[in-house]
């Protein structure tokens, strides 16, 4: 896997068993609030906000042309 970061925006290049058109990833200060905003504007959910094993809370949304949009919030470690 490779992560190409461009400020608050990034692209993952990931090995997988199936092809994906592209995943756009955005950082978030509040993943759940952003989820409410984008779904309130009509975004379709692939996966609702969940804590992920890599220390982030993330959402996956359907984008145009088979693209996936990820919104990710880094979780505070206690």
55 Cβ contact partners less than 8 Å away, ≥ 6 residues apart: 74, 75, 77
| pLDDT number for residue 23 | 82
Are 45 and 1 in contact, with CB atoms under 8 Å apart?
no
| pLDDT number for residue 78 | 62
Q: Please name which of 43, 6, 42, 50 lies closest in space to residue 24, comparing C-alpha atoms.
A: 6
Segment 12-67, tens digit of pLDDT? 777 777 776 788 888 899 999 999 999 999 999 999 999 999 899 999 999 888 88
Report the first-to-last Cα separation within the chain, whole angstroms. Answer: 27
| pLDDT number for residue 20 | 67
pTM for the model: 0.75
């Amino acid at each position: 896997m490779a992560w190409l970061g461009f400020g608050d925006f990034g692209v993952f290049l990931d090995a997988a068993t199936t092809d994906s058109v592209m995943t756009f990833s955005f950082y978030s200060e509040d993943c759940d609030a952003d989820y409410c905003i984008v779904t309130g504007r009509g975004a379709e959910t692939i996966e609702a906000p969940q804590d992920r094993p890599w220390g982030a809370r993330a959402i996956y949304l359907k984008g145009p042309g088979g693209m996936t949009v990820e919104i990710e919030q880094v979780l505070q470690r206690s």
